[in-house]
């Protein structure tokens, strides 16, 4: 059996119709799905030694959140290196990257037909098309020439979309070597991405607002990478972890002999960010005296190192972030109104995870793929029941809490699978999520002697989990205010931030 002229005409029409690239790609897969009578197809973009899904048909939508690193997926690596049609044997030993990701098939895919088409432009790999069928002989009657023609059409369409994208970007900013990807297809996230594009094209200061764990730093990175300053550095400073005694030196630098211990000249964060971007995280934690000095730099574009009278001219874009209500902080006298107005030229609100709907599933798949790679598993998936639990959870700690939940569940599920004699293919079930424990109130008293303690196989992991739980709880109780959290836990703020960083909370 060969594909007819009518079939190829239909494919070509799909590639020239549609509102945008995403729509055209989806139409292409739908037509391939119908013409080849396949069960699952995926169009993948090749970048930075990994495949990124662009469109799917027959696969769970969560696959859009996955990033397939070639070194972790031998089947996809074989496609990338082949340069021609790849027909995998029905009983191939190479792990299928879509195991557990086809809605009608839980767990490892049984013997099936699988074809990989590398998409080449001028002999350079730009992507791949994968075609799967549950019948092992499903594609036996289609010739390699037919499949090459499909690959050529898909490659041309993908290349055209990439050229258009590059053209639009180059008109606004210089090319950059690394992009920042923000995962999310929900309406609030689409709005945020549009706002990022708008503010990035200007040189205005930006203020990012959002709860703890929503990804404010990622938004700052995206703004910087899409801006005209992308070829310069974005310097990071956590204002909450800044001891008052060295805060001015950290921001503005100092000269030799300015104070005890100043044995040499030292540049501050502003100088290090000259020509680029300075990201001031948790700006609401800055003291009022430091706010006044920061305001002067924003007003006049110069600074003085500690111990030096000479003013230095600087060119720095400020992106600030906070989980506080700065308007209310201004009313309460905790934040300068003039500084607030200087910073909030373009405010962006990062939505909490509870408002992002199906993005929970996309993010879950992203974290599953990361955990699978880190734990050296051939397959790591999640059951429908467990995914439903994740979707229903309120996530007060937002994306960061979801990531920690997936990591913890993956470790627990792997340990359980090892006991059952299967450690390479792991499925996360509801009991592995331990969501009730993560939402529990803090322990205020030790259990009675008669109460049996849960078995602990790794004391350090158990201790870290307990500390993480307490910090997350206090952050939630104090609306993301790290200083208040430190007071509630009777910890030095600097020690709390170091502990939170070690535990993966920052």
On whether residue 58 sits in a domain, the answer given is yes
Predicted pLDDT of residue 468? 85
Predicted pLDDT of residue 440? 39
Show the tokens assigned to 161. Answer: 């979309």
Q: How far is CA 263 from the centre of its chain?
A: 41
Domain that holds residue 107: 5-170
On whether residue 177 sits in a domain, the answer given is no
Are residues 372 and 326 both part of a single domain?
no
How would residue 417 be classed by pLDDT, with cut points 50, 70 and 90? confident
Tens digit of pLDDT for each residue in 298-341? Answer: 998 888 888 888 888 999 999 999 999 999 999 999 999 999 99
Show the tokens assigned to 282. Answer: 């948790």
On whether residue 175 sits in a domain, the answer given is no
Are residues 91 and 134 both part of a single domain?
yes
Choose between 15 and 380: higher pLDDT.
380
Q: 224 and 174 in contact (C-beta within 8 Å)?
A: no
As a whole number of angstroms, the distance between CA 213 and CA 424 comes to: 31
Sign for the CA dihedral angle at 93, 98, 121, 143 comes to: positive
As a whole number of angstroms, the distance between CA 440 and CA 228 comes to: 46
Residue 264 has a CB neighbour count (10 Å cut-off) of: 8
Are residues 272 and 224 both part of a single domain?
yes
Are residues 157 and 38 both part of a single domain?
yes
Q: 49 and 71 in contact (C-beta within 8 Å)?
A: yes
As a whole number of angstroms, the distance between CA 119 and CA 129 comes to: 7
CA distances from 314 to 280, 301, 307, 341, 483 (A): 16, 6, 18, 21, 31
Show the tokens assigned to 52. Answer: 């990124």
Q: Where is the domain boundary, 116, 139, 170?
A: 170
Predicted pLDDT of residue 111? 64
How would residue 174 be classed by pLDDT, with cut points 50, 70 and 90? very low
How would residue 6 be classed by pLDDT, with cut points 50, 70 and 90? low
Using alpha carbons, select from 251, 357, 330 the residue that is nearest to residue 296: 251
| String of DSSP letters for 26-82 | HHHHHHHHHHHT-SEEEEEEEETTEEEEEEEESS-GGGGG--EEGGG-HHHHHHHHH
Show the tokens assigned to 335. Answer: 């934040």
Are residues 149 and 247 both part of a single domain?
no
Total domains present in the chain: 3
Choose from 161-175, 228-242, 247-261 the range with maximum mean pLDDT: 228-242
Choose between 350 and 113: higher pLDDT.
350
Predicted pLDDT of residue 281? 94
Tens digit of pLDDT for each residue in 62-75? Answer: 888 889 999 889 99
E strand or H helix at 129, and its extent? strand 124-133
pTM: 0.71
**Burial group, residue 441, by CB count within 10 angstroms (0-12, 13-18, 19+):** exposed
Tens digit of pLDDT for each residue in 392-410? Answer: 999 999 999 999 999 999 9
pLDDT at 1 over 60: no
Q: 238 and 497 in contact (C-beta within 8 Å)?
A: yes
Are residues 132 and 205 both part of a single domain?
no
Are residues 347 and 243 both part of a single domain?
yes
On whether residue 467 sits in a domain, the answer given is yes
Using alpha carbons, select from 478, 479, 477, 474 the residue that is nearest to residue 499: 474
**From 33-47, 208-222, 276-290, 430-444, the region with the lowest mean pLDDT:** 430-444
Round to the nearest angstrom and report the end-to-end CA distance of the chain.
57
How would residue 214 be classed by pLDDT, with cut points 50, 70 and 90? very high
Are residues 94 and 117 both part of a single domain?
yes
Task: Provide mean pLDDT across the span 459-463.
Answer: 73
How would residue 423 be classed by pLDDT, with cut points 50, 70 and 90? low
| String of DSSP letters for 288-326 | HHHHHHHHHHHHHSEE--BT--S-EE---EEEEEESS-H
What's the DSSP call for residue 241?
G
Are residues 258 and 166 both part of a single domain?
no
Q: 344 and 204 in contact (C-beta within 8 Å)?
A: no
């Amino acid at each position: 059996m060969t594909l007819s002229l009518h079939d190829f005409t239909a494919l070509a029409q799909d590639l020239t119709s549609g509102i945008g690239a995403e729509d055209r790609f989806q139409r292409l897969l739908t037509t391939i799905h119908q013409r080849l009578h396949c069960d699952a197809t995926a169009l993948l973009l090749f970048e930075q030694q990994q495949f990124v899904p662009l469109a799917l048909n027959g696969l769970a939508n969560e696959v859009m959140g996955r990033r397939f690193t070639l070194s972790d997926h031998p089947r996809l690596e074989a496609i990338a290196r082949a340069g021609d049609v790849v027909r995998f044997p029905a009983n191939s030993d190479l792990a299928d990257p879509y195991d557990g990701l086809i809605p009608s098939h839980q767990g490892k895919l049984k013997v099936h037909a699988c074809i990989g088409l590398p998409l080449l432009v001028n002999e350079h790999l730009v992507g791949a098309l994968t075609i799967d069928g549950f019948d092992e002989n499903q594609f036996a009657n289609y010739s390699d020439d037919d499949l090459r023609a499909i690959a050529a059409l898909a490659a041309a369409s993908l290349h055209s979309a990439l050229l258009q994208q590059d053209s639009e970007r180059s008109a606004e900013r210089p090319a950059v070597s690394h992009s920042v990807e923000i995962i999310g297809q929900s309406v609030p996230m689409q709005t945020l991405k549009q706002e990022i594009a708008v503010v990035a094209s200007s040189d205005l200061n930006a203020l990012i607002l959002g709860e703890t764990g929503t990804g404010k730093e990622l938004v700052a990175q995206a703004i910087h990478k899409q801006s005209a300053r992308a070829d310069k550095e974005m310097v990071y400073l956590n204002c909450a972890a800044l001891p008052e005694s060295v805060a001015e030196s950290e921001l503005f630098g100092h000269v030799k002999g300015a104070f005890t211990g100043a044995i040499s000249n030292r540049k501050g964060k502003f100088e290090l960010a000259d020509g680029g971007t300075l990201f001031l995280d948790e700006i609401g934690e800055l003291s009022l005296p430091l706010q006044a000095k920061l305001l002067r730099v924003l007003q006049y574009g110069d600074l003085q190192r500690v111990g030096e009278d000479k003013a230095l001219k600087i060119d720095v874009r400020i992106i600030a972030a906070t989980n506080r209500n700065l308007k209310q902080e201004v009313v309460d006298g905790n934040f300068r109104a003039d500084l607030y107005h200087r910073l909030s030229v373009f405010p962006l609100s990062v939505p909490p995870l509870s408002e992002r709907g199906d993005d929970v599933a996309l993010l879950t798949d992203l974290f599953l793929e990361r955990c699978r790679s880190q734990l050296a598993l051939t397959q790591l998936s999640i059951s429908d029941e467990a995914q439903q639990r994740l979707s229903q959870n309120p996530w007060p700690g937002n994306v960061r809490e979801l990531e920690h939940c997936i990591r913890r569940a993956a470790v627990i599920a792997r340990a359980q699978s090892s006991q059952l004699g299967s450690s390479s293919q792991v499925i996360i079930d509801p009991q592995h999520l331990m969501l009730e424990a993560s939402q529990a109130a803090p322990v205020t008293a030790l259990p009675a002697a008669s109460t049996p303690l849960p078995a602990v196989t790794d004391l350090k992991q158990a201790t870290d989990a307990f500390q993480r739980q307490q910090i997350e709880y206090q952050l939630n109780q104090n609306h993301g205010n790290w200083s208040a959290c430190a007071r509630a836990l009777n910890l030095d703020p600097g020690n709390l931030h170091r502990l939170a960083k070690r535990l993966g909370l920052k």
